[in-house]
A and B are shown apart, each in its own frame.
Chain A
Amino acid sequence: MINLPVRAITARTVQRRRYHVRRAPLPPSAESARLLDSFAAHPPLPLTLSALVSFGNPLIPASVLRSVTYVLSEIPRRMARRVRALEGLPFIVGTNPYVARTLNGHRDSFNVLATYPEVRTLEDNKHFVDELDILVQRHRNDIPTMAKGFQECSRYMSPTQISNFLDGAIRSRISVRLIAEQHIALSHALAMDPGAAEAGVLVHNGVIDPKCSPAEMVRMCGAFVSELCEATLGASPNITIDGCPEATFAYVPVHLEYILTEMLKNAFRATVEHHHKLHGLASSHPLPPVQVTISPPTPPHPFLSVRIRDQGGGVSASNMARIFSYAFTTAGHADDQKEDGGPYAAQHIGGSAAIGSGSVGEGGNLFGEITEKGVQVGLGTIAGLGYGLPLSRLYAKYFGGSLDLFSLDGWGSDVFIKLRCLLDDAGNAEI
Chain B
Amino acid sequence: MSWRFQNSWNASACARNLQRHSSSQVQPQSTALHFYQNRQLELYASKEANRLSLRQLVFFGRSMDEEKLIKSANYVRTELPVRIAHRLRDLQALPYVVVTQEGVAQVYELYWSAFEKFRRYPQVTTLEENQAFCGFLESILDEHAPVIPSLSLGLSLSSPHLPPDSLDAFMRRMLVSRISRRVLAEHHLALSKSLGTNSLSLPDDPHVGIIYTALNLRHSIDKCVALLRSRPHDIEDETGESVPNRGWPEVIVDGHIDIKFSYIREHLEYIIFELLKNAMTATGLNHRSSSSLPPIRATIVVGENDVGVRISDQGGGLSLGRIKSPSDLFSFSHIRNATRMDDTRLGALRSASSRGVKATVAEQIRPWRSEQSNVDSNNKDPEREAGIAPHPGIGLGLPMSNIFTTYFGGTLELVSLDGWGTDVYLRLPKLGTNLEGIEL
A residues in contact (CB < 8 Å) with B:
1-6, 9, 13, 17, 21-29, 31-32, 35, 38, 69, 72-73, 84, 86-97, 100-101, 103-104, 107-108, 111-112, 115-118, 152, 156
- The smallest C-beta distance from A186 to any residue of chain B, in angstroms, reads 21
A23 in complex: contacting residue of B109, B117, B125, CB < 8 Å: B109
Specify the chain B residue showing the minimal Cβ separation from A21. Answer: B30
Across the interface, do B108 and A23 meet the contact criterion of CB distance under 8 Å? yes
Complex CA–CA separation, A1 to B121 (angstroms): 10
Specify the chain B residue showing the minimal Cβ separation from A120. Answer: B8
Across the interface, do A115 and B15 meet the contact criterion of CB distance under 8 Å? yes
Specify the chain B residue showing the minimal Cβ separation from A153. Answer: B35
By a CB distance below 8 angstroms, the chain B residues around A86 are: 96
By a CB distance below 8 angstroms, the chain A residues around B35 are: 92, 95-97, 152
Q: Given the known A-B contacts A92-B35, A115-B15, are A87 and B96 also in contact in the complex, defined by CB atoms under 8 Å?
A: yes
Across the interface, do B19 and A118 meet the contact criterion of CB distance under 8 Å? no
Q: Given the known A-B contacts A9-B120, A13-B117, are A100 and B1 also in contact in the complex, defined by CB atoms under 8 Å?
A: no
Q: Given the known A-B contacts A28-B21, A111-B15, are A100 and B112 also in contact in the complex, defined by CB atoms under 8 Å?
A: no
Main secondary structure, interface of B, reads helix
B132 in complex: contacting residue of A6, A29, A111, CB < 8 Å: A6
By a CB distance below 8 angstroms, the chain B residues around A100 are: 27-28, 31-32
Complex CA–CA separation, A339 to B30 (angstroms): 22
Q: 14 more A-B contacts (CB under 8 A) besides A86-B96, A91-B95, A94-B31?
A: A1-B122, A6-B132, A23-B34, A23-B109, A24-B109, A31-B14, A87-B95, A88-B161, A90-B96, A92-B92, A93-B96, A96-B32, A107-B23, A156-B92
A-facing residues in B14-70 (Cβ within 8 Å): 14-15, 17-19, 21-23, 27-35, 38
Q: Given the known A-B contacts A112-B15, A117-B5, are A91 and B98 also in contact in the complex, defined by CB atoms under 8 Å?
A: yes
B18 in complex: contacting residue of A13, A25, A27, A29, CB < 8 Å: A29
Complex CA–CA separation, A26 to B21 (angstroms): 10
A-facing residues in B85-102 (Cβ within 8 Å): 91-102
By a CB distance below 8 angstroms, the chain B residues around A92 are: 35, 38, 92-93
A117 in complex: contacting residue of B11, B105, B135, B161, CB < 8 Å: B11
Q: Determine whether B123 belongs to the interface, using a CB cutoff of 8 Å to chain A.
A: yes
Across the interface, do A25 and B31 meet the contact criterion of CB distance under 8 Å? yes
By a CB distance below 8 angstroms, the chain A residues around B29 are: 97
Across the interface, do A97 and B31 meet the contact criterion of CB distance under 8 Å? yes
By a CB distance below 8 angstroms, the chain B residues around A24 are: 99-100, 104-105, 108-109
By a CB distance below 8 angstroms, the chain A residues around B121 are: 9
Across the interface, do B11 and A21 meet the contact criterion of CB distance under 8 Å? no
A25 in complex: contacting residue of B1, B12, B30, B98, CB < 8 Å: B30
B92 in complex: contacting residue of A27, A88, A90, CB < 8 Å: A90
- The smallest C-beta distance from B328 to any residue of chain A, in angstroms, reads 25
Complex CA–CA separation, A27 to B132 (angstroms): 38
By a CB distance below 8 angstroms, the chain B residues around A17 are: 113
By a CB distance below 8 angstroms, the chain A residues around B168 are: none
Q: Determine whether B75 belongs to the interface, using a CB cutoff of 8 Å to chain A.
A: no
Across the interface, do B91 and A21 meet the contact criterion of CB distance under 8 Å? no
- The smallest C-beta distance from B37 to any residue of chain A, in angstroms, reads 9
B3 in complex: contacting residue of A22, A38, A112, A116, CB < 8 Å: A38
By a CB distance below 8 angstroms, the chain B residues around A87 are: 95-97, 161
A32 in complex: contacting residue of B22, B33, B38, CB < 8 Å: B22
Across the interface, do A88 and B15 meet the contact criterion of CB distance under 8 Å? no
By a CB distance below 8 angstroms, the chain B residues around A73 are: 1
By a CB distance below 8 angstroms, the chain A residues around B116 are: 13
Most buried by B among A5, A31, A69, A92: A92
CB-based closest 8 A-B pairs: A94-B96, A117-B8, A97-B32, A92-B92, A87-B97, A24-B105, A29-B21, A95-B31
Most buried by A among B3, B22, B136: B22
A3 in complex: contacting residue of B92, B99, B129, CB < 8 Å: B129
- The smallest C-beta distance from A158 to any residue of chain B, in angstroms, reads 11
By a CB distance below 8 angstroms, the chain A residues around B19 are: 108, 111
Across the interface, do A21 and B34 meet the contact criterion of CB distance under 8 Å? yes
- The smallest C-beta distance from A179 to any residue of chain B, in angstroms, reads 17
By a CB distance below 8 angstroms, the chain B residues around A115 are: 5, 11-12, 14-15, 18
- The smallest C-beta distance from B123 to any residue of chain A, in angstroms, reads 5
Specify the chain A residue showing the minimal Cβ separation from B22. Answer: A108
By a CB distance below 8 angstroms, the chain B residues around A89 are: 95-96
Q: Determine whether B6 belongs to the interface, using a CB cutoff of 8 Å to chain A.
A: yes
By a CB distance below 8 angstroms, the chain A residues around B17 are: 31
Specify the chain B residue showing the minimal Cβ separation from A96. Answer: B35
By a CB distance below 8 angstroms, the chain A residues around B112 are: 23
B33 in complex: contacting residue of A21, A27, A29, A38, CB < 8 Å: A21
Q: Given the known A-B contacts A6-B132, A13-B120, A73-B1, are A25 and B95 also in contact in the complex, defined by CB atoms under 8 Å?
A: no
- The smallest C-beta distance from B287 to any residue of chain A, in angstroms, reads 45
Complex CA–CA separation, A28 to B30 (angstroms): 16
Interface string of B330-364 (1 = CB under 8 A from A): 00000000000000000000000000000000000
- The smallest C-beta distance from B198 to any residue of chain A, in angstroms, reads 28
13 residue pairs bridging A and B, Cβ less than 8 Å apart: A2-B122, A27-B101, A28-B23, A29-B18, A38-B3, A89-B95, A90-B92, A90-B96, A91-B96, A93-B96, A95-B31, A108-B23, A118-B8
By a CB distance below 8 angstroms, the chain A residues around B21 are: 28-29, 31-32
Across the interface, do B11 and A90 meet the contact criterion of CB distance under 8 Å? no
Across the interface, do B22 and A118 meet the contact criterion of CB distance under 8 Å? no
Complex CA–CA separation, A100 to B98 (angstroms): 15
Most buried by A among B18, B136, B161: B18
